[in-house]
Amino acid sequence: MEFLTQALVAAVEMGTPLLFATLGGVISERAGVINLGMEGLLLVGALVAFVTMLGTQSYLAALGAAALVSGTVTMVHGLVCLVLRANQIASGLALTLFGTGLSGLFGDKLIGKTIEPLDNHALPGLSQIPLIGPALFNQDVLVYLSYACVLATWFILYKSRLGLTIRSMGENPEVCDTMGLSVLGYRFWCLVVGGMLIGLGGAYFSLALNSYWVDNITAGRGWIAVALVIFAFWHPLKALAGAYLFGFAIALELRLQLLGIGLSPYFLKMLPYLLTILVLTTVTIRNQRRGLQVMPAGLGQGFVRGETH
């Protein structure tokens, strides 16, 4: 019981950056833009949050800076693949390389420096619920912010007029264009807002999961988030479930290492990645069997008026 409670707490902790990143991916992919730059953006968010925290000792400033800088860096991707109509996949890979390079270059001098990690705040009453109480309601403020982001994303995408427009951009940009809406504008800003959320996810690595800077602090989790967007059927509420499932896998890996159950740590390290592949395969097969078309129909396709793809 104690072990399970602890594992669930860790699952939420490990899942939170994945959740932010997956939400960011959901928003931009719903509008029709693939963002393969997640890993790079997570690293940028982590670096900026850490540097700002060192300089200002203010969590708020660190989070704000992480979101703003990640959003700005995402604009490069938007400029290249939307305004200049380049291939979205290649441009996303460039973003990952760019972000990895930025965090490596400017983080080099920070290796070993420490900050005070975020405190947990127990929500009275709720945190007393057995098993899930400590996991969900005795966490730091970023975890609570992630709940708010899930709800807000869900509400905007599925319950508002704006969300209907955004989803139409991903399904059928031609129709949106005919209606006089700016496909480029909507897609660009959805991508940027998504990038800001991914930046917050990056901040979680340096403000909550670690108290010191290490090179390549995200260790490929951005790519797990890329897969999670598909796993979550491009839906914010399912993103929550998916992120915690993978958070649990990562937490379990770390816990099994601590227990020293005889399995090699390097095998355990493979687990989250293998699990992602397994789950992605299962989900793909299931969708095919049921003939589900859940992927936004216009995903990854550029849009130029008068030029059909």
Partner 1 sequence: MRLAFEKRADSTPLGHTATIIGAVVLALLFGAGFLAAVGVDPLEAYALVVEEVFLSAYGWQDLLVKFTPLLFTGCAVALAAQMRLWNIGAEGQFHMGTVFVTWGSLHLNPDTWGWGMLLVMGLLAVAGGGLWGSIPGVLKARFGVNEIITSLLLNYVAVAWVDQHLFGSWRDPDSNNFPITREFAEVARLPSFGDTSVHFGLVLALIVAVVVAWILLKTKLGFQIQLTGDNPDAAGYAGVNSRLLIILVFAFSGAIAGLAGFSEVSGIHYRLQQNISIGYGYTGIIVAWLARNHPLGIILSALFMAVIFVSAEMLQIEYGLPIAMVYLYQGVILFTVLGSEIFTGYKLRLRTA
Stretch that binds partner 1, among 8-16, 46-54, 104-112, 198-206 (CB under 8 A): 104-112
- For residue 32, which of 306, 309, 295, 239 has the smallest C-alpha distance? 295
Q: What angle do CA 44, 45, 49 make, to 5 degrees?
A: 115
Exactly one of 4, 60, 90, 151 binds partner 1 (CB under 8 A); that residue is 90
Tell me how far apart the alpha carbons of residues 150 and 169 are, in angstroms, rounded to a whole number.
Answer: 21
> Each residue of 138-176: b (16+ CB within 10 Å) or e?
bbbbbbeebeebbeebbebbeeeeebeebbbbbbbbeeb
Examine residue 151 and tell whether it contacts partner 1 (CB under 8 A).
Answer: no
Tell me how far apart the alpha carbons of residues 217 and 40 are, in angstroms, rounded to a whole number.
Answer: 11
Exactly one of 178, 185, 267, 292 binds partner 1 (CB under 8 A); that residue is 267
**Burial of 308 from C-beta contacts in 10 A (0-12 / 13-18 / 19+):** exposed
Stretch that binds partner 1, among 116-124, 126-134, 181-189, 222-230 (CB under 8 A): 222-230
**Positions in 176-215 near partner 1 (CB under 8 A):** 215
Say how many residues touch partner 1, by CB under 8 A: 50
Q: Is-contact 190 31, C-beta < 8 A?
A: yes
| Beta carbon nearer to partner 1, 100 or 139 | 100
| Beta carbon nearer to partner 1, 33 or 136 | 33
Task: Supply the minimum distance, in Å, between the C-beta of residue 280 and partner 1.
Answer: 6
| Beta carbon nearer to partner 1, 61 or 299 | 299
Q: Report the interface residues with partner 1, using CB under 8 A.
A: 36, 40, 76, 79-81, 84-87, 89-91, 93-106, 108, 215, 219-220, 223-224, 226-227, 230, 264, 266-267, 269-270, 273-274, 276-277, 280-281, 284-285, 288
